Structure 1
Amino acid sequence: MRSAVVMLRSIWYILVVTCLFNFGEASDLYEETLVLKPPNDDQLYAVFNFSTVSEDLKSLKNHHYSLFPRVIGELIRKYGIAEFHLSMTQGLWRYERWGHPYYPAPPGAQLWVWFQPEIESVEASWKGFTNALSGLLCASLNFIGKTETVTPTLSFRPQGAIQDASSSLLRYAVLSRETLCTENLTPWLKMLPCGSNSGISSLLNPAALHHSQYLSLGLNYKQKCFEKNCDNPAIQLHQSVSTMFDLRKSTSEKPGFSVSTILNKKIKGPCPLAHRSDIRLSVPEVQWNINFDGDEKTTPILVVHCHLAGIGQQEGGVRCRLSNSAARNISVLVMQTVPWFLQVYLHTLQITDQDGKILLPKRVTFRPAKIRQSPHFLEYMLNISPSSTIKIALQFNRGFLTWTEHPPDANHGFYIGSTVVSVREKDIEIMGSDNVHHIYSEALQVFVPVPDFSMPYNVICLACTVLAIAFGSLHNLTTRRYQAFDSDEPKAESFVNKLMSFLKKLIGLVKRDKLIEPGNKDS
């Protein structure tokens, strides 16, 4: 008994010392912020920011995790990730009505990753990482393959501290058809230190979020340097939820709004693990009402729109329009990706201004597609004059796909990813820095020639019918046993006939006995 007590006491001391050591070594910081910005009287732009910073990268290499999610740390170590940015978006951002967003994203799912230079194979790590993220977030990112992947040259530069920024270590892909649903939000919330149990994250109501006009889920990882030499960089995982609510549907009072009414939830209390929790409105209460005067709308400086052109199922084209409302020149970088089954020709690229004058792009990078291996990639720089609009035209021919390459709903068509326009933030007056801001166009739905999918069914039915008739006759001829039949031989009575004759005889005997009984009495 005494030895057991001593052993339990020793184990208790070891646990206490281990916990104190881990607590002293833990240097993770968790911050959460809610930004509310009304672009006009009818909409409310709500941005939820959650940032987890680990100041000791070596602790993750030693499999020690405090607030930083372990599942992300394991993926980073296994696949040699230096930086990745994932967004899943439902809806289209309306630049003319809402201005520029804090975290721009195209419709569907977008993923771009920077890999470490010491990994053996970038393609193998890219495939493994997309499959792992697909299982982690219950998304269809595993459909990202070679035909959806490109390597941008200048468009997506590192946002964190990366030793080697060679474009060969970068991979970019977009799935415009990917939808965002509640099963993606649930594992995303589990990465937060407090989950959805307390703090600002407790306001996230899936039903209210999916009833909004725009919803975007972000997951971003990068390295940060707090020292000049950057010997031991810190790592940051930034999670964001951007949504646009229609106040006319969410509230009954106008003007004004109530956060608890819009989201149908209240804050359950502060997150005890959060180093900082901010709501970008200086109001201590959970609910508040704010009145907005005037009808002022935010007008963006740079806007891009794209649409399809062409008639029929053979030829087509992509038409884009870039508008600059500023009183100065703006230099932009345009990136376009086109699927491999649309035959694009570089000589058809035509850029004109609003007066019809042809403009020449700079630093053009064009990689033609390889059939069933990689898409078309086009990247070039443009200079947009003050208060002007330029038009971009690119023609293509529709190719033919085998019937096995069409999706189950083939008549729905395919998608061309959003055109990406990269510009410095200070040029569009978002912030005074040289950071790059991305502006996305609409995703284009394109139709290709569809085969007659009823034909295989008809062929199968016809073949089965012919085979049944031919095989059935042949089978009967080879397996049926024939016997000679003699017509003079009396036919054998069946069981039913024998039974009927027996019953008739039995009835006749009964009637005869009844007729004989009176005669016996007289005698």
Structure 2
Amino acid sequence: MRLGVSAVYASVAAVLVGAHETYDESLELSSLSGGRVYSSFAFKLHSDHDNLHHFRILPRALLQPVKSLGVDAFQLTLTAGRWSYSSWGAPKGSQSVASGAEVWATFGDQNNSASVPLTTRWRRLTSALAGTFCASLDAIDETTSVSVPAQYVWNDAPAHTEVLHAYLPSENVCTENLTPLLKLLPCKGGAGLASLIQMHTILSSEFQSMSVHARKSPSGYTVELAVSTVMRPAQRPADNTTWTLREIFSRNITASCPIANHSEIRIREPINVLDDSDEDWEDDSIHASTPYTKRISQKVYDTTSLDAPTDLSLQLISPIDGPFLKFAPLQATRQILGFGQERDMVRLTLHNEFITETMHVVYYDQLPWTVMPLMHTINATLSLDNMELPQDTIEYRDDFDTPFITSTKYRPAQLRGKMGAMELGLRVPAQSTLHVTYAIIKRHLHYDEHLPGPHRGSDLPPALFVPMSQSASQHTWGQAHRHLPIEQVQAERIYTPASLLHTAVPDFSMPYNIILFYSTFVALFFGSFLNIMVRRYTDVYIEKS
């Protein structure tokens, strides 16, 4: 009898605990330059309880290694394509757009995992993620991982927290990665906004990114899944910009997910302004030839009560030519220059479009042991833009004087061991372009350390630029930027594409040529010698008839 009462209490407790789980989903659509459409799917699962056995919505397969390894938070991002900051502005939120795979995690001190070394827990976590998302994360080890400040990759990180971080720039994205992500959702891909995610549509876009972010709170867990794409739907005439979900994703919303508490689609579109005043507004019937600047409005569609296939009429204006929707005041790039087998040159280019405000930026780069920067070769040069400033603008000469490199940190890499890291604090004056260059030495590899297959060089992980505490609402931009939205216009982090580093390669064909030559020689010599040794010579009589 006591066992039955305990079972009843356990079932009731499970129901009560399950009631604290929530699931929200959203889709944001916005137009970009060149007739492109940016779509961002966001799925958030939250629980106020940390007992994995009572979860009804949160994925246990994902959180089981998180709990057993004492992981406080982690994020896995798989990205294909290149995000254009100059044309598309900033991605949504703090989304990572680093090409390939990016993994970071922070670990806490728990009783069940305190005796396990941190590197072992890190390898076990990446192995679990590799199995869950069918990704080739086995290459992550001590030689590809580094400890970074948490603020570089995690905005909500607690103070004095460091994370383990790793890049795999050559990792590809395919359907085998996206399908396991959809299976973590309560309704999978059969209902709700997730039903719009079609493999052939997502993977054929110009840019696609999928990410999973899980973190532990004092009382529960939060899992955030995201899928972002930049695609170019079929071009329409200039006077017809109304698109439906089927035209964008090749599918409609068949039904809403009954478990979702909130499900909505947000449409972000530009609003045309005829002049510089904030009171003159026009609708979308304005001709493109009329001079105008752009603001952004937002329309919200609630999709929690859909019970039939629905075609939502979406008003998206994506001009092929014309102003962009977002202007980022800071542009940053990294290039590998030079030639030869021993040395190369790295050039950083940062452009500040603010009129009066100096920007402070942190440049962070992870360097494998095959690359060694020469710190004494660091050089910074500044070039000013030719622009007419407003009459009430005051410039100070100190802003344009050196030094432009305010701080320098370098952690050397261990030869054939751990990765190194380089961090520079940069000061970019207003309306100027800063060029920073430094030389690097490329170490030679042993013949057995080269990757198999055709040689293409080695991938240098993406570099990271982090603007420091800049608020667009407190600064003055150029004349063409005065009517930009005050919302996020500057990316919280700027990722550069991965760079291809040419390394010295020995002539691998020579050993094979020698092997083939000697094999042929030995075969001919041994065959001829054996033939002479074993052949018997006898007289043969031939009778003539």
Could you say which TM-score interval applies, normalised by the shorter chain? 0.7 to 0.9
Secondary structure of the corresponding residue to residue 465 of structure 1: helix
Post-superposition Cα deviations, 1:426-463, rounded to whole Å, max 9, x if no partner, equal: 53569889x99211112111111222222222122123
Which residue, 352, 356, 361 being the options, matches 1:324? Answer: 352
Residue 155 of structure 1 deviates from its aligned partner by: 4.9
The reply to whether residue 89 of structure 1 matches residue 76 of structure 2 is no
Residue 245 of structure 1 deviates from its aligned partner by: 1.5
Residue 31 of structure 1 deviates from its aligned partner by: 0.4
The aligned counterpart of 1:380 is 424
The reply to whether residue 288 of structure 1 matches residue 316 of structure 2 is no
Residue 117 of structure 1 deviates from its aligned partner by: 3.0
Residue 360 of structure 1 deviates from its aligned partner by: 4.8
The reply to whether residue 35 of structure 1 matches residue 53 of structure 2 is no
Residue 274 of structure 1 deviates from its aligned partner by: 0.9
Which amino acid counterpart does residue 60 of structure 2 have in structure 1? R
For 2:70 and 2:33, the matched residues in 1 are separated by 44
The aligned counterpart of 1:197 is 190
The aligned counterpart of 2:102 is 110
The aligned counterpart of 2:294 is none
Question: In the TM superposition, what are the counterparts of 1:126-137 in structure 2 within 5 Å?
Answer: 126-137=122-133
The reply to whether residue 142 of structure 1 matches residue 142 of structure 2 is no
Q: Is the 8 A contact 1:352 1:359 kept in 2?
A: no
Q: Which moved more, 1:355-364 or 1:193-202?
A: 355-364
Task: Tell me which of the two structures has the higher relative contact order, counting C-alpha pairs closer than 8 angstroms and 6 or more residues apart.
Answer: 2
- Provide closer, same or farther for how the CA distance between residues 189 and 100 of structure 1 changes in structure 2, counting only shifts above 3 A: same
Residue 344 of structure 1 deviates from its aligned partner by: 1.8
Post-superposition Cα deviations, 1:457-488, rounded to whole Å, max 9, x if no partner, equal: 2122123223334544665677x3869x6x6x
Secondary structure of the corresponding residue to residue 242 of structure 2: coil
- Provide closer, same or farther for how the CA distance between residues 179 and 337 of structure 1 changes in structure 2, counting only shifts above 3 A: same
Residue 324 of structure 1 deviates from its aligned partner by: 1.6
TM-score (norm 2): 0.78
Q: Is the 8 A contact 1:251 1:262 kept in 2?
A: no
Q: Is the 8 A contact 1:36 1:45 kept in 2?
A: yes
Question: In the TM superposition, what are the counterparts of 1:398-477 in structure 2 within 5 Å?
Answer: 398-424=442-468, 426-428=470-472, 437-472=492-527
- Provide closer, same or farther for how the CA distance between residues 115 and 475 of structure 1 changes in structure 2, counting only shifts above 3 A: farther
For 1:290 and 1:73, the matched residues in 2 are separated by 39
Q: Identity over aligned residues, as a percent?
A: 26
Secondary structure of the corresponding residue to residue 202 of structure 1: helix
Which amino acid counterpart does residue 61 of structure 2 have in structure 1? V
Residue 76 of structure 1 deviates from its aligned partner by: 0.3
Secondary structure of the corresponding residue to residue 130 of structure 1: helix
- Provide closer, same or farther for how the CA distance between residues 392 and 302 of structure 1 changes in structure 2, counting only shifts above 3 A: same
Q: Which moved more, 1:199-208 or 1:72-81?
A: 72-81
For 1:20 and 1:492, the matched residues in 2 are separated by 108
- Provide closer, same or farther for how the CA distance between residues 165 and 431 of structure 1 changes in structure 2, counting only shifts above 3 A: farther
Secondary structure of the corresponding residue to residue 243 of structure 1: strand
For 2:318 and 2:347, the matched residues in 1 are separated by 39
- Provide closer, same or farther for how the CA distance between residues 35 and 254 of structure 1 changes in structure 2, counting only shifts above 3 A: same
Residue 291 of structure 1 deviates from its aligned partner by: 5.1
Q: Is the 8 A contact 1:160 1:223 kept in 2?
A: no
Residue 301 of structure 1 deviates from its aligned partner by: 1.4
Which amino acid counterpart does residue 97 of structure 2 have in structure 1? A
For 2:437 and 2:456, the matched residues in 1 are separated by 25
Which residue, 372, 376, 393 being the options, matches 1:343? Answer: 372
For 1:67 and 1:461, the matched residues in 2 are separated by 62
Which amino acid counterpart does residue 509 of structure 2 have in structure 1? S
Bigger proportion of residues as helix: 1
Q: Is the 8 A contact 1:334 1:381 kept in 2?
A: yes
Unaligned runs of 5+ in 1: 1-9, 225-231, 502-523
- Provide closer, same or farther for how the CA distance between residues 323 and 233 of structure 1 changes in structure 2, counting only shifts above 3 A: farther
Cα RMSD, aligned residues only? 3.2
Which residue, 165, 176, 185 being the options, matches 1:183? Answer: 176
Decide which structure has the larger Cα Rg and report it.
1
Which residue, 264, 282, 302 being the options, matches 2:330? Answer: 302
Post-superposition Cα deviations, 1:345-367, rounded to whole Å, max 9, x if no partner, equal: 11122223226965353342211
Which amino acid counterpart does residue 192 of structure 1 have in structure 2? L
Secondary structure of the corresponding residue to residue 88 of structure 1: strand
Q: Which moved more, 1:236-245 or 1:279-288?
A: 279-288
Residue 236 of structure 1 deviates from its aligned partner by: 0.8
Secondary structure of the corresponding residue to residue 312 of structure 2: coil
Which amino acid counterpart does residue 333 of structure 1 have in structure 2? V
Q: Which moved more, 1:259-268 or 1:454-463?
A: 454-463
- Provide closer, same or farther for how the CA distance between residues 345 and 428 of structure 1 changes in structure 2, counting only shifts above 3 A: farther
Q: Is the 8 A contact 2:353 2:431 kept in 1?
A: yes
The aligned counterpart of 1:156 is 152
Secondary structure of the corresponding residue to residue 172 of structure 1: strand
Which amino acid counterpart does residue 375 of structure 2 have in structure 1? L
For 2:301 and 2:487, the matched residues in 1 are separated by 28
Count of aligned pairs: 467
Secondary structure of the corresponding residue to residue 148 of structure 2: coil
The aligned counterpart of 2:397 is none
The aligned counterpart of 1:228 is none
Residue 418 of structure 1 deviates from its aligned partner by: 1.3
Q: Is the 8 A contact 1:161 1:222 kept in 2?
A: no
Post-superposition Cα deviations, 1:397-431, rounded to whole Å, max 9, x if no partner, equal: 22222232222344322111111011256535698
